[in-house]
Amino acid sequence: MKRLCLLLALLLTAHAQAATPVDVVLAGRSTTVDLYAPPQPSRGAVVLVHGFMRTRATMADHARALAAEGVLAVAPDLPFWADSRDNARALADLIGQLRRGEIAAPVERVVLVGFSAGGLAAILAAATPGVVGYVGLDAFDRPGGVGLAAARTLPVPSKLLRAPPSFCNAYGIAAPWAAVLPPPTEDRVIEGASHCDFEAPTDRACMLFCGGTDPVRQRIVRQTLIDAVREWLLAPARQTQAEPGALVLR
């Protein structure tokens, strides 16, 4: 019996960590998203958005950890190279498809997590129906403050994690968001953090240009994501009985 329980636990862990790539069309462009299924069916999903000139692979470790918490984790390749507004439209399209069950079993609530330029695209998409929270990981803004304008009217709770100003986060260009975000919001600067501490896994290219990583700083990032999922997705699920359903690719 003990061996059987151990085998089931290992199978569930493997299931939670395995990515299923799915080809989709977002905002009129073909791209790929990776789905990380939770051990049990979930009505909550977290969408993890990579940074500029990065790919969905740089969100994979975050996605695995959040799927293990009990939610569907989704890591898309952004279909537009540099236009945050177009990528926001793509994220809104993705959220709609997730809620309608066009990619997997339908979800009800979505948390948006965005790193760097992905943080800007995510905050621009945060008013999409179904979004219940936003996490910005060393987010970027454009001169003129398009993200700042979105932050002023953000309709959901938020958490910001930031590195000290540096070249790679445009010298803290998104720092003013914290002063205008409606409550409830959290804002934290991680002392000594590099831009690369916020994606997982990162790579040598990022560390060459933006600085090395540190396990202690990375644990702060991961724990913030886990706390967000527990607060905004799992707590409501415990209060409301959700219908069972499997992760079925459509």
Helix (H) or strand (E) holding 7: helix 2-17
pLDDT number for residue 246: 37
pLDDT number for residue 86: 98
- CATH code, residues 18-238: 3.40.50.1820
Q: Are 32 and 177 in contact (CB under 8 A)?
A: no
Structure tokens at 5: 């329980």
- Positions of E strands within the chain: 19-26, 29-36, 44-49, 72-76, 109-115, 131-137, 158-162, 185-189
pLDDT number for residue 92: 98
Give the chain's end-to-end CA distance (angstroms, integer).
36
pLDDT number for residue 236: 74
- Cα–Cα distance list, 129 to 9, 26, 179, 220 (Å): 35, 16, 25, 29
pLDDT number for residue 226: 98
**Residue pLDDT tens, the chain, 250 long:** 334 333 333 334 444 468 999 999 999 999 999 999 999 999 999 999 999 999 999 999 999 999 999 999 999 999 999 899 999 999 999 999 999 999 999 999 999 999 999 999 999 999 999 999 999 999 999 999 999 999 999 999 999 999 999 999 999 999 999 999 999 999 999 999 999 999 999 999 999 999 999 999 999 999 999 999 999 999 876 654 444 433 433 3
pLDDT number for residue 145: 94
Apex 159 CA angle, 153 and 165, nearest 5: 95
Nearest-angstrom CA–CA distance, 205 and 102 = 35
Q: Are 246 and 106 in contact (CB under 8 A)?
A: no
Q: Where are the domains of the chain?
A: 18-238
pLDDT number for residue 146: 97
